[in-house]
Amino acid sequence: MEQNPQRLMTTNDYKVIPQGNLKISKKFFARGADKILLHSMNVVEDDVILRGDLGKISIGNSTIIDTGTVLRPSINSITPPFEYKMLKIGSNCYIGKNSIICCLSIGNNVHIGQDCILVK
């Protein structure tokens, strides 16, 4: 039986924030960090984009956001000035590689596969 090789991370690849037990890749991108709320025990991998500049993003406990994922609040109005709704992700979730999440909410205990696009 063939096994998939696993990429082993060292602590040098992440910023570890002990207050919430967060592991955040040093290679992720966030805009509007004051509107992004990460609860405890989350992992944010490389090349993740969090668009807090558009609207609030709340991510529950023990959620993993895999490489290349984009989290972006959904638009509320189609005419200027544009308004965005809050994006809420529950606890114990996994969002697969290269997915785009642009919806209102994701519940608890949800597994989203690789290369998925969720829109309003």
Answer positive or negative: Cα dihedral of 20, 23, 27, 31.
Answer: negative
Q: What is the pLDDT of residue 7?
A: 42
Domains of the chain, first to last: 20-119 (2.160.10.10)
For residue 117, how far is the Cα from the chain centroid? 13
Q: How is 44-57 classified by DSSP, letter by letter?
A: E-TT-EEETTTS-E
Answer positive or negative: Cα dihedral of 51, 21, 16, 47.
Answer: negative
Half-sphere exposure of 75 (CA within 13 A, CB side): 6
Q: What is the pLDDT of residue 12?
A: 57
pLDDT in tens, 44-92: 999 999 999 999 999 999 999 999 999 999 988 888 888 899 999 999 9
Q: What is the pLDDT of residue 9?
A: 46
pTM for this prediction: 0.81
Q: What are 34's two structure tokens?
A: 């004051």
